[in-house]
Amino acid sequence: MTRVGSRKWLRWLPAAAVPAVIAAGALAGSLPARAGDPLPAKTPEQVLQLIAQHRSPALSGTLEQSSELGLPELPKTGPGTDSPNAWLELLTGPHTARVYLDGPANARIQVMDRLAERNAVRHGNELWFYNSKDNTASHVQVPAENRGDVKGPAVTPDQLASMFLAKIDSSTEVTVGADVQVAGRAAYNLVLTPKSGATLVSSVAVAVDGRTGLPLGVQVRARGQGEPAFGVAYTNLTLGAPDASVFTFSPPPGATVKEVPAPERKAGTEHRTPPAKDSTHKPAVTGSGWDSVIAFPAGTAGPASDTSALLQQAAAPVQGGRLLSTALVNVLVLDDGRVVAGSVPVERLQAVAAQK
């Protein structure tokens, strides 16, 4: 195996909201263990360059997700696409999804539950979220000038790999393991191992297609667990643009459709006065790399936040607040309204909270 030297891949920036922290720790994927025909040997730097050279993919395929996060059962808030649980439930248990991609402006993911199907579709500036369980849909139409701010709905190994590769710095050992087979394709096995013993993350493995550089799967292991804590990878894959009709969505007859206002233009655009700087609601980061902790002041999310209410219900009582604990991420919701989160043990979160 070979190590990466002082060269950095990307600078890691902590997540800006608690749900993003949870997703960042959770959404990753499993890899088949059997290797096929050997690929030409590459150093970690060469595999990173292979990833960097691949372009926005055009493909269709099936993703399989597995989860051993140890998440508590999410409280029931009712069906529908507006429920905070509707998509957070995808962080727990096994799931199968069909994925269709054609560049950055066209994406569709179909999550196949046992008795229902959920769809997230982006076609240009049109965004749809649909749940067949109760035949409800949400629709967002983003103005043309805001299209660049809109991200596609599909969470793919490509997107997840980018997130984890952005963590590479001097706190990470990077190696290339034995080749793996993913969706019948030979892939390099790029392994990221935190050097710190204070993080809950044991390692992250990214399966990189040996021909195209496309990440085919991501696997995250937690310390002390035999099986991957969370995994997603393609089980079959066809490269090439899907039929354009896949990205055209119309609600089924009788569906309840909610029109959601488009997100506001980011600060800095013309005819808009930038807001006054408010340091009281700026999150603070303690430490660096994999064992960093991010703290959100009281009132950051607002008292009416559905996600904050969900965290309060799902978290267990601990000294000074409530704790949402997973194998990879801990989130401490303090009695004074502050939120402290990180891929570290709860004792470190409590120590950071005590410093404020």
Whole-number pLDDT of residue 5 = 36
Closest-CA residue to 257 (of 150, 128, 151): 128
Whole-number pLDDT of residue 301 = 53
pLDDT over 90 (residue 213):
yes
Whole-number pLDDT of residue 10 = 28
Q: Which two tokens stand for residue 59?
A: 């493909």
- CATH code that applies to domain 18-260: 2.50.20.10
Q: Quick one: DSSP state of residue 16?
A: S
Q: Quick one: DSSP state of residue 132?
A: T
Whole-number pLDDT of residue 261 = 84
Tell me the C-alpha distance between 280 and 11, whole Å.
Answer: 25
Between helix 18-26 and helix 306-314 the angle, nearest 10°, is 60
Whole-number pLDDT of residue 159 = 87
Q: How confident is the model at residue 319 (pLDDT cuts 50, 70, 90)?
A: confident
Tell me the C-alpha distance between 248 and 147, whole Å.
Answer: 17
* Cβ neighbour number for residue 24 with a 10 Å cutoff: 20
Positions of CATH 2.50.20.10 in the chain: 18-260
Q: What does pLDDT average to over the chain? A: 78
3-class DSSP state of 235: strand
Whole-number pLDDT of residue 152 = 47
Closest-CA residue to 306 (of 24, 78, 25, 21): 78
Tell me the C-alpha distance between 66 and 232, whole Å.
Answer: 6
In the chain, the amino acid numbered 47 is V
What strands lie across the sheet with 126-131, from one edge to the other? 172-182, 185-194, 201-209, 215-222, 230-239, 58-67, 95-102, 106-112, 117-123, 126-131, 136-141, 256-260
CB-based contact 214:158 (threshold 8 Å):
yes
What strands lie across the sheet with 284-286, from one edge to the other? 284-286, 293-296, 339-342, 330-334, 321-325, 316-318
Closest-CA residue to 353 (of 344, 316, 242): 344
Residues ≥6 apart with Cβ < 8 Å to 246: 60, 100, 108
Residue that has been written with the tokens 């799902």 in this structure: 314
Q: For 39-61, how does the pLDDT look when each residue is reduced to its tens digit (9 = 90+)?
A: 999 999 999 999 999 987 899 99
User: What are the Cα distances from residue 93, in Å, to 27, 73, 316?
Assistant: 12, 10, 20
Q: Which two tokens stand for residue 47?
A: 């595999």
**Pairwise pLDDT comparison (292 vs 13), residue with the higher score:** 292
Tell me the C-alpha distance between 275 and 272, whole Å.
Answer: 9
Tell me the C-alpha distance between 117 and 252, whole Å.
Answer: 13
Beta strands 316-318; 293-296: pairing state: unpaired
Whole-number pLDDT of residue 295 = 93
Q: How confident is the model at residue 298 (pLDDT cuts 50, 70, 90)?
A: confident
Q: Quick one: DSSP state of residue 76?
A: P
